[in-house]
Structure 1
């Protein structure tokens, strides 16, 4: 049966993100992704040189979005936290996939990049004291955790955003 006219690369990325989020990167094979697409593994190699290349195609947009946010921050902490939430929410399947296989961060050689933009976000949200930095880590980590832990209920999105941002503001000792 011929495949419908679709963007195979984009569909492969969508399926890979779902499988990585539910099973993890290491536990998901290219053959499995190809089977979900209804194509051969060789046909999938036409779009991605390797499984790592496929993963990078998923992770790079997340990193680019967060890096852009961390270099062009809104002046208001609430707006910064909301933008961070929105970015994390948009890429929640990728975040969950990375959480399932943290070792892949080293494979992609992105740990330093993640630390750099999180440090910029921390600094923009609070004072540079150890206590201030800890509050920022709790605030941003809480937002990421909320997006990951509640990613399966789309009816919560508006409430989730409001509550996560308000909790982050409280962690930063800022008015909600």
Structure 2
């Protein structure tokens, strides 16, 4: 029951954070929407920062796992799998992008740059020209941007075009 309440709190908080930003969302708003007391919310999360961290951490863990367990292979397949990873966490990305201070608080920017460096090597190998680096930045950034910009559309509508555009940017 406790983990169910925790998951409900995270879901409502994520929704409110996406709608109105982290700073503009109070723990009172979250507890009111859930119909629980603020002390009940504090039982599960000591602060708003703890709650934000708990929402963002699964995305960090999934990205870390993705870049550390993948072996170089078919670049198109990697782009498709990366798109699906980003798509799964699109609400969190919207939340983070909407409030860039979250990047600093969670040291997320450093994670994101490291993920991108590893993905570039997986896609194109370790010895790249500056042009290849730039193309990879456009490809991977474009995939992430599509997941955020078109988050409300069905994945079937977004993924094929986003992956093809990324493949084109890479010259595949």
Task: Give aligned pairs, total.
Answer: 169
**Per-residue deviation at 1:123?**
2.1
Q: Which residue of 1 aligns with 2:36?
A: 39
TM alignment of 1:15-164, pairs within 5 A: 15-74=12-71, 75-126=73-124, 128-154=128-154, 157-164=155-162
> Which among 162, 168, 171 is matched to residue 170 of structure 1?
168
Whole-angstrom distance in 2 between the partners of 1:49 and 1:128: 46
Moved more, 10-19 or 108-117: 108-117
**Per-residue deviation at 1:73?**
2.1
Whole-angstrom distance in 1 between the partners of 2:2 and 2:50: 24
Which blocks of at least 5 consecutive residues in structure 1 are unaligned?
Answer: none
**Per-residue deviation at 1:46?**
0.6
Q: Which TM-score applies when normalising by structure 2?
A: 0.92
Which protein has the bigger helix share? 2
- CA-based RMSD of the aligned residues comes to 1.7
Q: Which TM-score applies when normalising by structure 1?
A: 0.90
The DSSP-based 3-state class of the residue aligned with 1:7 is helix
Which blocks of at least 5 consecutive residues in structure 2 are unaligned?
Answer: none
**CA deviation string 1:83-119 (max 9, x = no partner):** 1111111111100000000111111123222211111
